[in-house]
A and B are shown apart, each in its own frame.
Chain A
């Protein structure tokens, strides 16, 4: 089955530093999303990026489809960025598709 590997499992940074999160998947993805979850909270979609580079605010995602990898870059991290970041992929297009999630990267931003 499809597998999604995220690294690192956890990351501790000082406020203001940049964070780099990695995602590798076992098969070519036609859909790739990054999600954020605060402890005990819901998941929020950050970026929908099946290929190329996408930006929103301080977030940049780069997905290289042929190499089956995606990254999420968080610039000038803030304490409120703390939480778990998930990468999720889907191989098929259209319709009601299932996403396969990685185990997440726990990001802790310290003052």
Chain B
């Protein structure tokens, strides 16, 4: 069974709309992350959370907002979607900054 659950697995959205990507981890880890992978760029860091607090933020745009309602949850809200936002968004977790475990990803296409 997957230990990091991401929903939805696939998503098509209209330009200008808003979507939320869901992530839940059942590894008991204290740190959670969002990474993005697109055809144009290598896998890139977006956010890191530790004990539900934002630790690091690489994303320049405020359209990307992580939300942590529970210790093992880190959702990603994306507003005013653009075609350039099309990518696979990976949620990941770790314990104390060690080995990183990834979810299956949410593949977002913005048309």
Residues of A within 8 A of B (CB): 31, 33, 35, 41-45, 48, 86, 88, 90, 93-104
| Most A Cβ at <10 Å: residue of B30, B45, B97 | B97
Name the one of B42, B48, B101, B103 contacting A96, with C-beta atoms under 8 angstroms. B48
Contact A97 B43 (CB under 8 A): no
Q: How far is the CA of A45 from the CA of B4 in the complex (A)?
A: 14
Q: A42-B104, A101-B42, A102-B42 are in contact. Are A96 and B99 (CB under 8 A)?
A: no
Q: How far is the CA of A65 from the CA of B94 in the complex (A)?
A: 22
Within the complex, what minimum Cβ distance (angstroms) separates A61 from chain B?
13
Contact B99 A48 (CB under 8 A): yes
Which residues of chain B are near A104, meaning CB under 8 Å? 42
Q: Beyond the given A41-B104, A48-B99, could you list 11 further A-B residue pairs with CB under 8 A, ordered by the A residue number?
A: A31-B98, A33-B99, A33-B100, A90-B97, A95-B50, A96-B32, A96-B94, A97-B48, A97-B97, A100-B45, A102-B42
Cβ-closest 5 pairs across A and B: A96-B31, A96-B48, A96-B50, A98-B45, A96-B55
Which residues of chain A are near B105, meaning CB under 8 Å? 42
Name the one of B44, B48, B56, B58 contacting A101, with C-beta atoms under 8 angstroms. B44
Name the one of A31, A42, A98 contacting B90, with C-beta atoms under 8 angstroms. A42
Which residues of chain A are near B104, meaning CB under 8 Å? 41-42
Contact A96 B49 (CB under 8 A): yes
Within the complex, what minimum Cβ distance (angstroms) separates B42 from chain A?
5
Contact B103 A42 (CB under 8 A): yes
11 A-B pairs within 8 Å (CB atoms) are namely: A41-B104, A42-B90, A43-B90, A45-B101, A48-B98, A88-B100, A95-B31, A95-B96, A95-B97, A96-B33, A98-B56
